[in-house]
A and B are shown apart, each in its own frame.
Chain A
Amino acid sequence: MAVEPSTAFDKIWNAHLVARLDDGRDLVFVDRHVLQETTSAVAFAGLKRSGRNVRHPELTIATQDHIVSTDPGRDEDSYPGGRELLTLMRSNAYASRIKHFGVDDPRQGIVHVIAPELGFALPGSILACGDSHTSTVGGLGALGMGVGTSEVEHVLATQTLALTRPRNMRVRFEGKVGTGIAAKDLILRAMGELGVAGGRGCAVEYAGPAIEALSVEARLTICNMSIELGARLGLIAPDEKTFAYVKGREFAPTGEAYDRAVETWRRLRSDENAVFERNILIDCSRIAPQVTWGTTPEHVAGIEDRVPDPAGFSDARRRDGIAQAINYMGLEPGMPLAGIPIDVAFIGSCTNSRISDLEAAAQVVKGRRIAPNVRGLVVPGSMSVKREAEARGLHEIFRAAGFEWREAGCSMCVSINEDVVAPGSRCIATSNRNFENRQGPRSRTHLASPVMVAAAALAGHITDVRQERQG
């Protein structure tokens, strides 16, 4: 029997298909569901109102990450503005018998950091979470569906999602990746080439030798920013590195069950002749460290480049957008990116807060001091990452350099707690969004890799980490 060649995405999706709905959408089974405090309270209220129960509490976990304080030694009450949602998360989880990893639990952390870390997200699974960066788990070869609160309620009540099937798209990274270039630079470059709507409606598979060479943690960074491409999700076919990463984690299969799982996971690769509606090729050999200069992730350039001049754009809408972004950011057309002074350096977020990210940044700052007027923050993605970093002595390196060493949470990426950038101040951040007001009213954000943020913190301005290292 001839079998149609299919993509890794198709294989996983088809294995989860419960029903085809009359309106053209697919009803898919959700293997794993992760809750966080800012997008679940209304979902539980809805369940209560309609008299429905959580169908499969064992397939859901909950944590507190968005609004939780990241002050050293914090507890649930440290940030009073967060108390209502934190209390609701805990009480709702307890009432529904959902495992809850709150600030008092050693497993607490950012949803997209702890889901892989706990072995809760598995290759070939569908994982839902009320957060757009759920695509992160694609780095393990899982389908991460970022959804709204009504869909969180839908998953709780039915363990399914009704979704429009995304189209297949592939982004291949070819060529040799230079020294000092991180996964963040690869995905930011893709952003620059494809734009923030470039992946809309698509499941994006990242492939090519540069992706295969990445560690699992770096792959999580790549898939994390799929939503910034406008994609429905992103994924990387699992391989031996993935299987080794999953092994031994708390909720991962063990022993003979693990072996059988790996047999299944090996099949989750796109077939040779699988058809992608769109194929994009990115040449890694030409990628310099990337920094955003504007107010959307596609406003990105290499560190050797300059802030664009709106006058050079013929499309009026584009021109106006760029002019407005440059104005908001307090920059001048044509000025070099290197040398832009910064006030804050933030290392953290679901994009870049894993142990390898902290290790890379620590190597840059080791034995040095951050510039006098810069506030530096390091916020580990989870308490587990924090413990591992402390075991390696990274906290001492950061503290000696003048960085704050904080507790796990989303912190200055979403800035819904007290971790905000002051009005008009400029922050270089390892996070994922540089929107107007994202890090606080009138905050200005430049996105970059952990080593680039570390280098900027030392210099007091945006700088090429490759030169910092030589010098």
Chain B
Amino acid sequence: MTKPVRDIAGVMAVMPIANVNTDAIIPSVWLRTATADMGKGLFGGQRYDEQGNEKPDFVLNRPPFREAKILLADENFGCGSSREAAVWALVQFGIGCVLAPSFADIFYENAFRNGLVAGLIEPATYQALKAAAEAHEGSAEFRIDLPSASVITPGGELHPFRIPASRAQALMRGDDEIAMTLQHQPAIEAHYAAAKAESDWLFPATLQRTQSP
């Protein structure tokens, strides 16, 4: 169960770089514990110097963007490692929505499961939003309206983003995906029984010996 999300309002930070990888979003040093504050590690490699001090020129260290709720990113955002911590870091920092012309497959799936809105935008929309963000230098509010799948600039312009309708609904309800899948339990069991009957070699006896506690 994730927290239902309908609308997000806040400052939009821009990261105008293609192929931002999840190692950059959350470096591996932040993954050594199951309970780290991933928000602090967000873009850690670029955000801090070697002594751990904030680099003042990095976008998320600059005053208005420290409170950013929306991230405008470029092509193939979130590529590389499957680490879901990349999404946790964004969410724990306070980002509720990432808009990009495209996302890497695994990141895109991870986003939905943590209530992070991953909105796909046309390249022209990317340019328009980037221009709007630059014009307002972070001082004004952008708004994400999930029911209409649109982003509203401080100037009141409305731009659409793409998100599969049923998945937007799931975000608005805060669906627990495992619970949804378990509604298919009879079909899953039927598949397993059929596979066992037709391809018994797939389930050899050696596998049945599970670890003794």
Contact of A157 among B34, B113, B182, B192 (CB under 8 A): B182
Q: List residues of chain A with CB within 8 A of the CB of B62.
A: none
Question: Which of chain B's residues 176-206 have a Cβ closer than 8 Å to chain A?
Answer: 176-178, 181-182, 184-185, 187-188, 191-192, 195, 199-204, 206
B125 beta carbon closer than 8 Å to chain A: no
Task: Give the most central of A22, A131, A197, A435: most B CB within 10 Å.
Answer: A435
Give B87-122 as 1s and 0s: 1 = Cβ < 8 Å from A's Cβ atoms.
100000000000000101110011001100000000
A435 and B21 contact, CB distance less than 8 A = yes
The answer to whether A52 touches B211, judged by C-beta atoms less than 8 angstroms apart, is no
Contact of A147 among B82, B200, B201, B206 (CB under 8 A): B82
Residue A78 CB within 8 A of the other chain: no
Number of A-B contacts (CB under 8 A): 198
Interface stretch of the complex, out of A208-216, A254-262, A344-352, A453-461: A254-262
Interface size class of B (residues with CB under 8 A): 35 or more
Interface-forming stretch among B4-12, B135-143, B152-160, B164-172?
B164-172
Q: How far is the CB of A419 from chain B (nearest CB, A)?
A: 11
Q: Is A85 an interface residue (CB 8 A)?
A: yes
Interface size class of A (residues with CB under 8 A): 35 or more
In the assembly, what is the distance between CA of A59 and CA of B80, in Å?
27
Quick check: B188 and A158 within 8 Å, CB to CB?
yes
Are B204 and A251 within 8 A (Cβ)? Answer: yes
**Given known A-B contacts A18-B184, A93-B211, A31 and B178 have beta carbons under 8 A apart:** no
Neighbouring B residues of A38 by C-beta, 8 Å:
31, 83
Chain B residues closer than 8 Å to A149, beta-carbon distance: 84-85, 110
Q: Which of B22-30, B53-61, B65-73 contacts A (4 or more CB under 8 A)?
A: B22-30
Q: Which residues of A (248-295) have their CB < 8 Å from a CB of B?
A: 250-254, 257-258, 260-261, 264
Query: Most chain-B CB neighbours within 10 Å: which of A163, A230, A321, A423?
Result: A230
A18 to B212, CA, bound (A): 31
**B178, A50: Cβ atoms closer than 8 Å:** yes
Q: Which of A201, A437, A442 contacts B23 (CB 8 A)?
A: A437
Q: Specify the chain A residue showing the minimal Cβ separation from B212.
A: A97
Cβ contact within 8 Å between B208 and A58 = yes
- Do B201 and A257 touch across chains, with their CB atoms under 8 A apart? yes
| A201–B105 touching, CB < 8 Å | yes
Given A97-B210, A200-B104, A39:B34 Cβ within 8 A: no
Cβ-neighbour of A58 out of B87, B110, B207 (below 8 A): B207
A88 on interface, CB distance cutoff 8 Å: yes
A158-B211 contact in complex given A261-B201, A433-B80, C-beta closer than 8 Å: no
* Given known A-B contacts A45-B34, A441-B45, A58 and B213 have beta carbons under 8 A apart: no
B interface footprint on A121-132 (CB within 8 Å = 1, 0 otherwise):
010010000111
**Bound complex: CA A224 to CA B123 (Å):** 31
- Which of A93, A200, A437 is in CB contact (< 8 Å) with B45? A437
* Chain B residue contacts of A9, Cβ below 8 A: none
Would A159 and B201 be within 8 Å (CB), given that A19-B184, A147-B106, A197-B75 are in contact? no
Which residues of the partner chain A approach B17 to less than 8 Å between Cβ atoms? 321
User: In this assembly, does A405 line the interface, its C-beta being within 8 Å of a C-beta of chain B?
Assistant: no
Lowest 6 A-B CB distances belong to which pairs?
Answer: A148-B84, A23-B166, A253-B201, A150-B113, A148-B110, A132-B82
* 13 A-B residue pairs with CB within 8 Å: A29-B191, A50-B178, A52-B178, A100-B211, A132-B82, A146-B106, A148-B83, A148-B84, A150-B84, A158-B182, A197-B76, A250-B206, A436-B45
Chain A residues engaging chain B, CB cutoff 8 angstroms? 16, 18-19, 22-24, 27, 29, 31, 38-39, 41-42, 45, 50, 52, 56-59, 67, 81-82, 84-85, 88, 93-95, 97-100, 122, 125, 130-132, 146-151, 153-154, 157-160, 162-164, 196-197, 200-201, 227-228, 230, 232, 250-254, 257-258, 260-261, 264, 296, 317, 321, 414-416, 423, 433, 435-438, 441-442
